[in-house]
Copies of this chain bind each other. A is one copy, B any other.
Amino acid sequence: MPTNVFPLDSTKPFTDQKVLGHNRWHPDIPPAASVRPGDTFRVDCREWFDGYIRNDDSAEDIASAPLNTVHALSGPFRIEGAKPGDLLIVDIVDVGPIPQEDEGPLAGQGWGYTGIFAKRNGGSFLTDEFPDAYKAVWDFRGDRATSRHVPGVEFTGMIHPGLMGTAPSAELLGRWNTREAALIATDPQRVPALALPPEPDGAILGGVPDGDRERVAGEGARTAPPRENGGNQDIKNLTKGTRIFYPVFVDGANFSVGDLHFSQGDGEITFCGGIEMGGFLDLHVDVIPGGMEKYGVAENAIFMPGDTPPQHSRWLSFSGTSVTLDGEQRYLDSHLAYQRACLHAIDYLSTFGWSKEQAYLLLGAAPVEGRFSGVVDIPNACATVYLPLDIFDIDIRPGAGDVPQIDPGIGAPRASVG
């Protein structure tokens, strides 16, 4: 086993571990460990809510999820010799749930969860249509997942970290805070929020000295969004065998990682999405000196995805355009088009007996593909979502006969936020 530079004990909270991680981005968070180019090392990861979400049949935990505390990140890891302007090569040598533990109360111990955040606590991609909180618990067997809350489906997960990235420089962090504050200022009371400003409450800052904590907590960027440093990209294709190239903004790169998903559909549309879990990564790192200029990479990660994704050869696909449900025409809005495509898929699946929230949870968790199909055909963008046919126990293709019906079982737990 590669040396574990960030071990986690499943029986203790994230803040009681030998080495403390972090849940904010800031250049002054010191490295939790140092590695060298060419090293392979292991990193344990805690599920993003540090165990708050339970393996039960209630969605109250999703409804009250403490958003200030995410994401529980492992790191930062200093890569010796890496300098601003370099590209950091990260190979995902292996990634999986918590090793040797497949029972227990912590997501990653043989199970994971998908949540739909309530509109008043986080929201989601389709929050206007699904304003309440929902949850599905998934059980793992090898790399396959099933759920008592979404019966009638089984699929091979695309295990990946939802969040990886390098530390921002002070200058870059400043830009983030400035531009996001400007956005928030356009509608400060919006529910859900437009963006999340720095928030000292709940901040975990690794080895930041006490004297700096208040300042760093007040400046540290939230980890929800993807940004120039990578961050919470939620790219489902970052599976085992993937090589990623990150821009380096500070000496040592200060790389962090977390938010493991057992599986996820393109977009992670339920927000508390994918199938959330804790686990481990084996990483190999290297550096391309001056790689940012050499390859014209000023920001955002480049990657070569792994070569062992689950194979699917038959798909049923849904399209959407940038017209709102109320019939308003928007201008080339791919985001809206993808919402409409997802809603079409949900409507379709509901004719087979799944509840709409079960279908929504499935689209967030299963390896569905979401594609930009037309982005120039004014005024409508066209987006498409592809469902692999072989994850369903029944044949969901449209045809001449009766529509087969599944037993929706106990359904997806639901909770309202008042």
Q: How far is the CA of A317 from the CA of B304 in the complex (A)?
A: 6
Q: How far is the CA of A338 from the CA of B288 in the complex (A)?
A: 26
B381 and A335 contacting across the interface, CB-CB below 8 Å: yes
Using an 8 Å CB-CB cutoff, how does the interface string of A318-352 with B read, 1 for contact, 0 for none? 11110100011111111100101100100110110
- Given contacts A142-B241, A319-B226, A329-B182, whether A378 and B193 have CB atoms under 8 Å apart is yes
Q: Does A374 contact B (CB under 8 A)?
A: yes
Using an 8 Å CB-CB cutoff, how does the interface string of A375-418 with B read, 1 for contact, 0 for none? 11111111110100110000001111001000000000000000
Q: Contacting chain B: which of A9-17, A19-27, A208-216, A230-238?
A: A230-238
Q: How far is the CA of A236 from the CA of B370 in the complex (A)?
A: 13
Taking CB atoms and an 8 Å cut-off, the chain A residues in 114-147 that contact chain B are 123-125, 141-144
- Given contacts A295-B348, A308-B308, A311-B313, whether A375 and B268 have CB atoms under 8 Å apart is yes
Taking CB atoms and an 8 Å cut-off, the chain A residues in 219-243 that contact chain B are 224-228, 232-237, 240-241
Q: Which residues of B contact A348 (CB under 8 A)?
A: 295-297, 302
Q: How far is the CA of A226 from the CA of B304 in the complex (A)?
A: 32
B241 and A156 contacting across the interface, CB-CB below 8 Å: yes
Q: How far is the CA of A337 from the CA of B85 in the complex (A)?
A: 23
In the complex, residue of chain B having the shortest beta-carbon distance to the beta carbon of A299: B344
Q: Which residues of B contact A374 (CB under 8 A)?
A: 226, 232-235, 267-268
B2 and A180 contacting across the interface, CB-CB below 8 Å: no
Using an 8 Å CB-CB cutoff, how does the interface string of A256-296 with B read, 1 for contact, 0 for none? 00000000001111110100000000101000100100111
Smallest Cβ distance from A344 to chain B, in angstroms?
6
Q: How far is the CA of A62 from the CA of B142 in the complex (A)?
A: 35
In the complex, residue of chain B having the shortest beta-carbon distance to the beta carbon of A303: B317
The winner among A125, A194, A296 for most chain B CB atoms within 10 A is A296
Q: How large is the interface on A (under 10, 10 to 19, 20 to 34, 35 or more residues)?
A: 35 or more
B267 and A179 contacting across the interface, CB-CB below 8 Å: no
B240 and A142 contacting across the interface, CB-CB below 8 Å: yes
Q: Which residues of B contact A228 (CB under 8 A)?
A: 321
Q: How far is the CA of A382 from the CA of B228 in the complex (A)?
A: 11
Smallest Cβ distance from A328 to chain B, in angstroms?
6
Q: Contacting chain B: which of A53-61, A76-84, A98-106?
A: A98-106
A398 and B288 contacting across the interface, CB-CB below 8 Å: yes
In the complex, residue of chain B having the shortest beta-carbon distance to the beta carbon of A373: B235
Question: What 5 A-B pairs come out closest when comparing CB atoms?
Answer: A93-B142, A234-B374, A195-B379, A225-B380, A370-B372
* Inter-chain pairs besides A288-B399, A297-B344, A313-B313, 16 sampled, C-beta below 8 Å: A194-B331, A225-B378, A226-B374, A266-B371, A294-B403, A297-B347, A299-B344, A302-B319, A304-B389, A307-B313, A308-B308, A311-B313, A313-B390, A334-B335, A371-B372, A372-B372
